[in-house]
């Protein structure tokens, strides 16, 4: 199926993944005068930096002695502003199909379609999927009474809510939903939390005030009546099992990355990585490039600065691919008038 529909978005470059390397790819493409569309599976950009360690310090970004991971993301977002990329968040690139005229028809889980001259995969360790609750029969209640992500908080209004998990998401939602729920119980496998201390303190205050319950234990079964979830079975450290009333179960066990659909696009893989050359960071499919953590080649180190270098060389190669027969010159941002124009600056130090 090569035909594209009238609402297909035409683009010279489509970046898959808005982690730090995908964001910097937009910058390097912008310097070359190439504008990009970016598709990101998460509802925000930043990849592992935003999802796994936003408040942790990073010390090995050149010329920034220290910054938090989320600050790095904010700085990258600011740096790419002049190039005005279009972000398509909260959607997974599900298909990349080469067409007869050497472009790629790209489809996302939200049904967005692109016809892209080049595709740059900056998919990191893959897309982040919620870690599932492993109890019998849970599948039939997902997004009805069992939720891994809460998009509409009104679903908990006046309900018996049970929240599972001990990280920031579990604690944040516990605090946020306390006034909406009829009853609220937080269940975690131990009294050790992976969340901010202030959130744990707040939750404890709610427990002391009798506004909610906290239980140590594991959810080992569901109570169901007439096809509807009515309770959860919690196995406590003593081995005792208690049934709690529950008609909304919110599961926040964290997110784990999976390569997902990228594995099906006909690219040469080495375990969970995409094999590239080290000149252009092109894959075995001409016109598809890979940079950042997902790219593998001899000597590869999965560091943000490696991905920045890869993004720069990929951008030169893409410029060449889009302008066959023309020489692509190296230009400095310090002195190049065309780059100043693209950056919207006058080239003088303020
Ligand atoms: P990622 O950050 O993984 O982003 C990839 C993005 O692609 C994700 O947002 C994902 O949702 C998206 N995606 C994947 N598949 C699809 C798809 N099919 N459709 C749409 N979107 C998709 N590195 C350093 O250099 N210095 C450090 O100090 C450092 N500290 C770290 C600390 C921790 C705890 C961890 C876990 C990592 C650390 N790293 C550090 C590594 C660094 O975070 C990674 O090298 C970097 O995030 C890689 O960036 P990326 O853009 O390639 O991929």
Question: Sign (positive/negative) of CA torsion 80, 85, 91, 96?
Answer: negative
Burial, 311: exposed, middle or buried (Cβ in 10 Å; 0-12, 13-18, 19+)?
Answer: buried
| Mean pLDDT for back-to-back runs of 10 residues, the chain (350 residues) | 68 98 98 98 93 90 97 98 97 94 93 97 90 96 93 93 95 96 98 94 98 98 98 97 97 87 93 96 97 98 98 98 96 96 89
* Cβ(15) – ligand 1 distance below 6 Å: no
Question: How far, in Å, is the centroid of ligand 1 from the Cα of 19?
Answer: 5
Burial, 33: exposed, middle or buried (Cβ in 10 Å; 0-12, 13-18, 19+)?
Answer: middle
* Cβ(42) – ligand 1 distance below 6 Å: yes
* Cβ(303) – ligand 1 distance below 6 Å: yes
* Cβ(39) – ligand 1 distance below 6 Å: yes
Pocket mutation for ligand 1, best pick of 95, 123, 306, 309 (most atoms within 8 Å of C-beta): 123
Q: Are 46 and 70 in contact (CB under 8 A)?
A: yes
* Cβ(296) – ligand 1 distance below 6 Å: no
* Cβ(61) – ligand 1 distance below 6 Å: no
Q: What does the pLDDT read at residue 5?
A: 60
Question: How far, in Å, is the centroid of ligand 1 from the Cα of 240?
Answer: 41
Q: What does the pLDDT read at residue 242?
A: 97
* Cβ(58) – ligand 1 distance below 6 Å: yes
pTM, two decimal places: 0.80
Q: Which residue's CA is the nearest one to ligand 1's atom 6? A: 17
Question: How far, in Å, is the centroid of ligand 1 from the Cα of 20?
Answer: 7
Among 181, 170, 255, CA closest to 215: 170
Question: How far, in Å, is the centroid of ligand 1 from the Cα of 331?
Answer: 29
């Amino acid at each position: 199926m090569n035909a594209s529909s009238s609402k297909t978005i035409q683009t010279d470059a489509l970046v898959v993944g808005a982690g730090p390397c995908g964001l910097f790819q937009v910058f390097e493409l912008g310097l070359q005068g190439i504008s990009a569309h970016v598709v990101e599976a998460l509802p925000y950009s930043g990849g592992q930096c935003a999802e796994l360690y936003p408040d942790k310090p990073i010390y090995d970004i050149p010329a920034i002695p220290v910054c938090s991971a989320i600050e790095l993301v904010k700085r990258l977002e600011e740096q790419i502003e002049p190039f005005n990329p279009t972000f398509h968040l909260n959607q997974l690139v599900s298909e990349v199909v080469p067409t007869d005229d050497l472009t790629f028809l790209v489809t996302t889980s939200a049904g967005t379609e692109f016809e892209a001259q080049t595709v740059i995969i900056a998919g990191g360790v893959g897309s982040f999927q919620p870690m599932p609750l492993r109890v019998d029969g849970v599948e039939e209640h997902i997004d009805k009474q069992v939720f891994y992500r809460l998009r509409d908080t009104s679903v908990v209004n006046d309900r018996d809510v049970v929240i599972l998990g001990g990280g920031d998401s579990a604690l944040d939602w516990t605090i946020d939903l306390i006034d909406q729920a009829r009853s609220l119980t937080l269940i975690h496998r131990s009294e050790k939390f992976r969340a901010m201390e202030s959130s744990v303190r707040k939750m404890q205050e709610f427990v002391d005030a009798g506004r909610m319950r906290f239980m140590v234990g594991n959810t080992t079964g569901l109570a169901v009546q007439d096809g509807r979830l009515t309770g959860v079975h919690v196995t406590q450290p003593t081995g005792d099992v208690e049934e709690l009333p529950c008609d909304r179960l919110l599961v926040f066990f964290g997110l784990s990355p999976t390569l997902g659909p990228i594995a099906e696009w006909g690219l040469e893989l080495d375990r969970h990585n995409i094999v590239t050359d080290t000149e252009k960071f092109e894959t075995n499919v001409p016109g598809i490039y890979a940079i950042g953590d997902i790219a593998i080649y001899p000597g590869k180190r999965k560091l943000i600065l490696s991905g920045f270098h890869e993004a720069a060389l990929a951008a030169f190669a893409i410029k060449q691919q889009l302008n066959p027969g023309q020489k692509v010159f190296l230009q400095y941002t310090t002195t190049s008038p065309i780059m100043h124009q693209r950056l919207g600056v006058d080239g003088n130090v303020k």
